[in-house]
């Protein structure tokens, strides 16, 4: 039993070390491009936002806090720290990181509106 616990601990430490070794260096973008969808009308709009900016989308207030991407790989996978608040109900609907390549991984749950990250905006754009 003790050997099994020791082996498990060693494996856990090895995996943690591998994850740290595979960490990707990131750069911070000046903003991001978000895509919005009104599920009722079918209207899709791409919106450029600066970091720290808040936009109104229907009754929602969408704030982009930060956008990051792999350093040296502008076409790499972007991820953005986003907050969405329903202004009518004064309720936070989403707060966290959205990943451009996996919009369903950590998504806004709303019956009418979808918002997801497409890419970061950099000085080279």
Q: What's the DSSP call for residue 123?
A: T
- H/E stretch holding 70 reads strand 60-70
Tell me whether residue 96 is in a domain.
yes
Tell me whether residue 90 is in a domain.
yes
Q: How far apart are CA 76 and CA 120, in angstroms?
A: 10
Tell me whether residue 61 is in a domain.
yes
Tell me whether residue 50 is in a domain.
yes
Query: How many C-beta neighbours within 10 Å does residue 115 have?
Result: 22
Tell me whether residue 52 is in a domain.
yes
Q: Which domain does 43 fall in, by range?
A: 25-121
| Tens of each residue's pLDDT in the chain, 125 residues | 455 444 444 445 455 554 454 677 899 999 999 999 999 999 999 999 999 999 999 999 999 999 999 987 766 789 999 999 999 999 999 999 999 988 777 788 889 999 999 999 988 76
Q: How many domains does the chain have?
A: 1
Tell me whether residue 64 is in a domain.
yes
Tell me whether residue 15 is in a domain.
no
Q: Is 84 helix (H, G, I), strand (E, B) or coil?
A: strand
Tell me whether residue 17 is in a domain.
no
Q: How far apart are CA 121 and CA 74, in angstroms?
A: 9
Contact by Cβ (8 Å): 111, 27: no
């Amino acid at each position: 039993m003790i050997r099994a616990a020791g082996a498990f601990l060693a494996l856990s430490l090895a995996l943690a070390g591998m994850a740290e070794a595979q960490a990707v260096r990131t750069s911070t973008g000046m903003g991001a491009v978000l895509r919005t969808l009104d599920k009722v009308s079918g209207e899709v709009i791409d919106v450029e936002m600066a970091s720290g900016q808040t936009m109104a989308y229907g009754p929602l207030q969408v704030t982009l806090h930060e956008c990051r991407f792999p350093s040296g790989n502008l076409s790499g996978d972007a991820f953005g720290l986003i907050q969405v608040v329903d202004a009518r109900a004064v309720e936070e609907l989403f707060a966290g990181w959205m990943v451009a390549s996996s919009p369903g991984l950590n998504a806004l749950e709303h019956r009418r509106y979808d918002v997801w990250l497409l890419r970061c905006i950099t000085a080279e754009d």
